[in-house]
Structure 1
Amino acid sequence: MEEQEEGIIKALIKVWLKVLISLIYTYFIVSKFPKGKLRIFSLLPIFSLFTFLPNSLSTPTTAGLTGFFFTWLANFKLLLFCFNLGPLSNDNLPKNSFLNFILIASFPIKIKQNENYPFTQNQKLPLNLWSKCLIYSIIVICGFLSNYNKNVHPNILMGIYCCVVYLNLEVIMGICNKIVGSILRMELSPPFDEPYLSTSLQDFWGRRWNLMVSDVLRHTVYFPIRAFWEIRIGKRWAQLVATMVAFVVSGLMHELLFFYITRVSPTWEVTCFFLLHGVCLVVEIGLKRVLGLGELHWALAGPLTVGFVMGTGVWLFLPQLVRNQVDVRSLEEVKAVSRFVKGILAKN
């Protein structure tokens, strides 16, 4: 068992070494090339490497996070970098230092700016990072001790899994924010803005949920697609088309992440989840524009929005993970980490 755990750690170290070498090449060589086609051509091996990196990892967490950090976010940031845009560009990179380049490329972070996300001001029950860490730990420990995936009603279990998905991302990205922010000595944008307080799908996806991903999709997909279609079908229709394309791209990237985690062929349920939300968001925007509908009172809009997200998540997002026992494997991963840490402490 110890050999298996050491093998996982060695594989993870190799992945990070490959990433470091790739980013050194990008920073010291590719950055000297003129923006455009030459940079894209020079980075094709890096795009390919980052896409296949998760295949060398065997656990759901390591493979999933590597896919999220590098196959998705880092690749999209580097794509923007090819045109001297995005957080890695000379204009946006603070002090243009190598360390800043590595950290911003490798982690799901964004330096906070004055024109940043339009955070809402009517939060009612905001929780700080450490309280979320505590809640997440309690859920994981309960699963570890009681094996609740066999003892809890399936509907309640799915509700718990919805919370776990959110808290897992919030805790991991929040800790990354704290660590990298302290190294950079800069204020970073929060990864989430209390999504459980959302009052519409537009509020949930555009202003509260996984803001790093929203920002990357906005600049790599939404803005270019909208600009392309504006001169052809007008601004309003172009916005709707760009919104749908962004949701399609998000769905396909999630399918790829699910493949890394489960290692089974896509079922396209996750893509359907994002297509459904894209359509519903477009309809919501259209109704507000055509009928001039205002926002519903938060006491009604909040439960409807969160209920819809969780209900469709239980229907289309979570089943593939549960079918392939990702929940069970993740708990085994927690046990393995606990054993490894205890072994190190015992030796010391």
Structure 2
Amino acid sequence: MEFDFYVKAIMRGDSEFYGVVNVWASVFTSLTYCYVLQRLTGPGPVRLASVLFLLLPLRLSSVHIGGSTAFFIAWLANFKLLMFALGKGPLTKPDSFLNFIAIACLPIKIRQNPHPGEVDHEKPQNCSRRSVLNFRIKLMLLGVLLLLHNYSDRLPWLLIWFLYCFHIYLCLEIILAVVAMVVRAALGIELEPQFNEPYMSTSLQDFWGRRWNLMVTSILRPTVYEPVLSLCSRVVSRKYAPLPAVLGTFVVSAIMHELMFYYLGRVRPTGEITGFFLLHGICLMVEIGVKKRLKLKRGLPIPLSGLLTVGFMMITAFWLFLPPLLRCRADVRAFEEYAALGQFVKDAMKLNLFSKFV
């Protein structure tokens, strides 16, 4: 009885299920090839598996699994492999096969050991408790958003779009946190956080550099920002060389986001996503330039700067970021996936399939 239930569940989404198995088996095989080669050869193009990782997400169509897989391998893993081929980056440090595979294909970064004089034996425990509580609260908030979706026809469109932005943030943070928890439990390694409460940002520099999706920041800094900074330092003064480096980083981020949206919807890019990131890149350049020019050590009062920053993020997201996402029906498909998962859990509970895990 139980076996038949699982077989039927798999067959209902057989295409996506077998696609996931096929994609991740290919990723594992490719990264095994890279790990073996690092023992036999030095840095060079033979270490790359980038072309394969750009094609694999096309085999998936779901918003959550397909979108997450595309982000993990087509973006993060490709950039890590690029650094690996140059003899740089996190993949040159792992001392075990499992660590190499996990770091290569998952959005994680191993926390560096603090200096002996900075070790605090109470702080890790307190941070861990706060992290667990924080995760539970955000999981509950996501549940509330799913319930509110049932009343979307009665809510003003502005509120719905605001909830969509919050939904995107919660989904990203929860997915990345779950991956980090699994890796931490399986490999026993301490990891850097992926987000740092972006809704508390007080400037664009604070949002993009220190709070939002820190995994992407840690990848783009050595692969794009630092090389462009080094190149521009030869042309302009060191003081202002970070400005074109910032814009170059946002250009690459725009290209990768266009690719991620193509994986999600399989629709031709309209340029709105590129416009969103170019606008933010230019505004961030202006912000940094003004701070350097006026030698500002303090900005506006935190409540006001926070309100302006979050407000700017929301307005530009409504204008440029959300429309292409909604045109590919990502919202509708995402809630259909939630409904399918909920139905699966209900069917399983009726058959008492979860009783043996309790």
Other-structure match for 2:213:
210
Aligned partner of 2:251 in structure 1 is 248
Aligned residue identity for 1:320: P
Contact 1:61 1:261 in 2 (8 A): no
Q: Deviations over 1:144-200 (max 9, x none)?
A: xx151x332111111001101111111011111111112221221110111111001
Q: How does 1:1-348 map to 2 (within 5 A)?
A: 2=9, 3-35=11-43, 39-43=44-48, 46-89=49-92, 92-93=93-94, 96-113=95-112, 128-143=134-149, 146=150, 148=152, 150-293=153-296, 294-346=298-350, 348=353
Unaligned runs of at least 5 residues, structure 2: 1-7, 116-129, 354-358
Structure 2: distance between partners of 1:224 and 1:155: 41
Task: Could you list the structure 1 runs, at least 4 aligned residues long, displaced by more than 6 angstroms after superposition.
Answer: none
Let me know the Cα RMSD of the aligned residues: 2.0
Checking the alignment, whether the CA contact within 8 Å between 1:191 and 1:212 is kept in structure 2 is yes
- What secondary structure, in the 3-state scheme, does the structure 2 residue paired with 1:289 have? helix
Amino acid at match of 2:144: I
Q: 1:28 and 1:262 mapped to 2: Cα distance? A: 36
How far does residue 79 in structure 1 lie from its aligned partner after superposition? 0.6
3-state SS in 2 of match to 1:318:
helix
Long gaps (5+) in structure 1: 117-124
- CA shift at 1:114, angstroms? 5.5
Q: Report deviation, 1:213.
A: 0.3
- The AA in structure 2 aligned to 1:20 is F
Q: Distance in 2 between matches of 1:83 and 1:234?
A: 28
Question: Can you list the C-alpha shifts for 1:124-147, whole angstroms capped at 9, x where unaligned?
Answer: x9971121111112212332xx15
- Aligned residue pairs total 328
TM-score of the two chains, using structure 1 as the length reference? 0.89
8 Å Cα contact 2:198-2:207 kept in structure 1 = yes
Which one-letter code corresponds to 2:42 in the other structure? P
Q: Percent identity?
A: 44
- Hey, what does 1:119 align to over in structure 2? none
- After superposition, the Cα gap between the structure-2 partners of 1:42 and 1:188, relative to the gap in structure 1 and judged at 3 Å, is closer
| Contact 1:5 1:340 (8 Å CA) reproduced | no
SS at match of 2:254: helix
Q: Between 317-326 and 227-236, report the one with greater CA deviation.
A: 227-236
Letter in structure 1 aligned against 2:100: F
TM-score if structure 2 supplies the norm length?
Answer: 0.87
2:46–2:85 CA contact under 8 A, matched in 1 = no
In the alignment, is the contact (CA less than 8 A) between 2:57 and 2:69 conserved in 1?
yes
Q: Distance in 2 between matches of 1:233 and 1:12?
A: 48
Q: Any conservation in 1 of the 2:229–2:245 contact (CA below 8 Å)?
A: yes
| 1:46-69 deviation line (CA, Å, top 9, x unaligned) | 211110111101212222111100
Report deviation, 1:34.
Answer: 1.3
Deviation track 1:267-307 (CA, whole Å, cap 9, x = no partner) reads 11111111000000000011111122332111110111011
Structure 1: distance between partners of 2:142 and 2:39:
41
